[in-house]
Each structure stands twice: as C-alpha cells, then as structure tokens.
Amino acid sequence: MSEEFRIISNSEEETRKISQKIFQLFHAGDTVILDGDLGAGKTYFVKGFVEGSHSKDLVSSPTFSIANFYRTDTAEILHIDLYRISNIDEFNDLGLYDYFSQSIVLIEWGKKFAQCFEEYLLISFEINGDNTRTLIFASQGDKYDLLIDEIKKVLKGDELC
C-alpha cells in the first residue's frame, strides 16, 4: 500500500454521503475492497455509492446471495460479500471475474483475497467505540494512488483526520 488517508464519519448517514460524493470518480474496471468488522458500515457505504450513481435499484447485503448487481447510467455496480467464502478456490468458482472489467466492483470482506488483484482501493472501516467510524482509504497500485488524490479533493472540507 502506498497512498493513504483517513476521514471520520459521525453516523451511518455521513458514511452514505461520503460514498455518494465520490461515486463520480469511479469507472468500470475499478475494484474496491471494503474491510471492517460486522456493523462497521460497509453496506451503508455501498448504499450511498449506489445512491450517488442515481440508480433506482434497492441495495441489500449480499451475504447469502454472494453478489448483487445494480444498474446505473454509467457502469454497472457489482456488490460482492465474501464473508461466507473461505478459500481462493471457492472465490474463483463464483465465476464473477468476467464481470470485473465491465463493472465497478465493491467487495465486502475481500481483504482475505486481495492477492487475487494487482490493483485496488482498500477502504477499512474502524469502529471508534461510539457512533463514529474512521474510514481509511489505501491504494494498491499507481491507478489508485491517483484516485485517492481525487477522493481527497472531493472530500476536502469534510472531517478529515
């Protein structure tokens, strides 16, 4: 990981607003790994991201379905939850790689399979003991170093730490 920055979210609604604001920076072929404990805000982030795309699709956690697709005007969003997937063979058997180049891919619990990707944006959600969360954006690869710079510009003035 090379580039990194942090932002504080004071509520689920703020987490949604953060992701709504940055949606515009993403394109088909982008991969985002969402990491954090249960209840840390990963699915709220996805809800805001999809709302930022102006999609009419309802966002729900794909814990049991493994993957959900959301339609947008610019690029399809592929939302994956790997909580129940225990090894790389199971991950590969899902057959989702074919959709990665044509979708913006958001992967909950994907850090355990990060070695499957050459480049990605990692967003870690830390629970601060109250209702606040720290979102830590870290890049893997030059493409995502540049993306983090753009995210910082979009979120400038929000509660960065």
Domains along the sequence of the chain with CATH = 4-155 (3.40.50.300)
Given this model, what pLDDT does residue 1 score? 52
Given this model, what pLDDT does residue 135 score? 97
Cβ contact 135:21 at 8 Å: no
Given this model, what pLDDT does residue 123 score? 98
pLDDT in tens, 80-111: 999 999 999 999 999 999 999 999 999 999 99
Given this model, what pLDDT does residue 64 score? 84
- Name every residue whose Cβ is closer than 8 Å to that of residue 60 and which is 6 or more positions away in sequence: 68
Given this model, what pLDDT does residue 12 score? 92
3-class SS of residue 145: helix
Stretches in the chain below the pLDDT threshold 50: 161
Strands 133-140 and 4-9: antiparallel
pTM for this model (two decimals): 0.92
